[in-house]
Structures are given as C-alpha cells and as structure tokens.
Structure 1
C-alpha cells in the first residue's frame, strides 16, 4: 500500500487511525501549497484533487479519509476503532457523524471560506466563514453537555474514530482561531486524554 497525504485535517485523521492500529505504509507527501494535488499525475488518482489517497498493492485507489479508515479497519480489525459489536458500532457511527457534521464541518467551513488556498476550489463567502466561527462555541458547548459525567471517550469506554474526528476538529479550530472555550471543562478533559495518546503525534 501507499498513502498520499499532506498537511490538513483529513490526512491527519488517517495518520492517527493508522498509528492507533500500528499500521506503517510508505507515504508520498503531497504539497498543497505547490499545487501538487492538481498535477495530471495526481488527478489520475483522485479527480477531485484532494488528499488523502490510499493506493493498494493491486492498484485499487480509495479516497476520502473515513473510507480509507473503513478499509483499514476491515483488514486490520484490532484494535476496533469503529466498534466491536452491533451496539458499539452503531454508537461509534452515530458519534462520528455528529462530530463530523456538527463540529468538523462547521470549522471546516471557516477554512474553506477564509483561506486563500481554497479560493480556486469554491466561491468563498468570508461573511459565511465568520458566521461559522461564531457558531463554534455553541457546537462545543453541546458536546460538553453530552459527555458530562459520561464515559472517557465520546462513543463510550473505548477510544474510536469519533474521538479522532472531534479531536482533529479541535486542532483545526485552534489553527483558525476558533478555539474551544475555556469554560467547557468536560471537552477539555476529554481532549487531554486524546492528546496524551502516542497516536496524536502522527
């Protein structure tokens, strides 16, 4: 296998996921600032010009970070990061979707509509980016209430892909000045637990 990745939250999600499972594959760094994701060679791998991209030994190409993680879970099932039984799988899926839509997506919209790097990808609306920035504290406050007096990780007692998604959203938010409010102690305690894991430095 070969992983095409670079700077950015989705590449980071896959690297953390692989580190948790102890998977080590050759990597190709794609420099977005130099437009390497728009070269004809790369577009043959992913016509959308986005990273990460996983190329299997038989040439099969898988794009989208969660799809890549799903594949890796199937071929390296332990430790289970998408849940180990029907109930835990449902809860991990639920919480990963919630984290992705409610938090990751909100913060991602700040990046998409404010960073010049994305100016060629879509029509940017800076005012929309600011409305999303204003919405971030409420999104984290919602999560803070949800995990109050609960298990150590978002979807239950076991660390999962939902923790990866939400923690990388926090990392992205800090980069774009949309930090978690200091008053949300439950979220901060959870994030501390996640960032203490060796995989966080992947």
Structure 2
C-alpha cells in the first residue's frame, strides 16, 4: 500500500489513525499549494482531486478518510479504533458522522469560502456569502457537543479512543490555525482536546 499525502486536516486524520495502529507504509507527497492534486496524474487516482488517497496492493485506489480508515481497521483490527463488536462499531460510526457533518464540513467550508477563497475559488465551487454562516453552524454544534461531553466521558465513545476523536481533533486543530479557534467556554471539549493532544499520534 501507499498513501498519497499532503498538508491539511484530512490526510492528518489518516496519518494519526495509522500512528495509533502502528501502521507503516510508503507515502508520496502531493503539493496542494501548487494544485498538484487537481492535475491529471492525481485525478486518475481520485477524480474529486482531494486528499488523501490510498493505493492498495492490487493497484486500485481508495479515497475519503472514513472508508480509508475503515479499510485499515479491517486489515489491522487491533488496537480497535472503530470497534471490536457491532455495538462498538455502530457507536463510533454514529459519532464520526455527527462530527463530520455538523462540525468538520461547515468548519472546512467556512474556511474555503472565507480566508481560503483565493486558493479555492478556482478549484471548487465557492459561496463566499456562506462563510460566516457555516462557521456559526460549526460553533453552534461544538457548543452542543460540549454539553454532551459534560457527562464526564473521556472520549466521544466513553472510555474508548476512536476514529471519531481523531477526526474531531484533526479539524479542531486545523480550525485553530485558520481563524476558527475553539471557544474556551467549551470547557469539556477543551479538556478533551488537551487530552488527545498528549497522545504521540497527535504529532503525525
């Protein structure tokens, strides 16, 4: 296998997932700043032109971070970062989807349509007037999640560290760098963020 890697929160989620599992594989850097991901060689690997992409041993390609991580989980089941039972897997997938749709997507598009507009306007369809609203949606859902974390759980799935935590951490850390820092009033998420940041995989 080979990982086509780059800057940005999406590839980082996969790298962090791999680090937690101790998975090593060759990586090939793709230059996002030079729009290498939007050129024909990469578009053959991923027609969406997004990052990352995983090349499998049979020469086929997987893209989208959740399917990539689910594939790696099946290939390397332990430590289980999605779950070792149907119930655990369903719980992780529930939280992963909540985080992805309600926080990661509006946070990322708020950046693309705002501070990142100059870079993205020729690459994807941008709606600049939506930037502030998308950021507000992400902030509102973070407030909701902070309330959910008030029950004293260590991670999103209780005591289990999972893909849902990795996904949220990668995007909140990215948000901090692009004008969407975590509101310190979200004290339960702030404590969770510090806890996850102490894991060696956070350096991936």
TM-score by structure 2 length? 0.95
Q: CA deviation at 1:60?
A: 1.7
| Local SS of the residue matching 2:156 | coil
Number of the residue aligned with 1:30: 30
**SS of aligned partner of 1:32:** coil
Distance across 2 between alignment mates of 1:25 and 1:10: 17
1:123 alignment partner, one of 99, 122, 125: 125
2:41 counterpart residue number: 41
- 1:183 corresponds to: 185
Kept in 2, the 8 Å contact 1:110–1:129? The answer is yes
* Kept in 2: contact 1:136–1:178 (CA 8 A): no
Cross-structure match for 2:91: 91
Q: Equivalent residue of 1:82, what SS?
A: coil
Displacement of 1:80 in angstroms is 0.5
CA contact (8 A) 2:3 2:52 kept: yes
**Bigger shift: residues 79-88 or 190-199:** 79-88
Asked whether the equivalents of residues 38 and 123 of structure 2 are also in contact (C-alpha less than 8 Å), the reply is: no
TM score, norm. by length of structure 1: 0.95
The unaligned stretches of length 5 or more in structure 2 are none
Counterpart of 2:109 in structure 1 is: 109
Deviation, 1:5, is 1.1
CA distance in 2, matches of 1:175, 1:135: 18
Deviations 1:96-152, CA, capped at 9 Å, x for gaps: 100111111110111221212211233322221011223333221101100112320
Deviations 1:27-59 (A, max 9, x none): 001001112112222221112211111111220
Secondary structure of 1:103's counterpart equals helix
**Partners in 1 of 2:23 and 2:105 — Cα distance?**
27
The residue that corresponds to 2:202 in the other structure is 200
Matches within 5 A, 1:61-100: 61-100=61-100
Mean alpha-carbon deviation: is it higher for 113-122 or for 27-36? Answer: 113-122
Aligned mates of 2:109, 2:123 — CA distance in 1 = 13
The gaps in structure 1 that reach 5 residues or longer are: none
Q: d(CA) in 2 for partners of 1:132 and 1:47?
A: 26
Hey, what's the Cα distance between the residues in 2 that align with 1:47 and 1:17? 24
Instruction: Give the conservation status (yes or no) of the 8 Å contact 2:6–2:30.
Output: yes
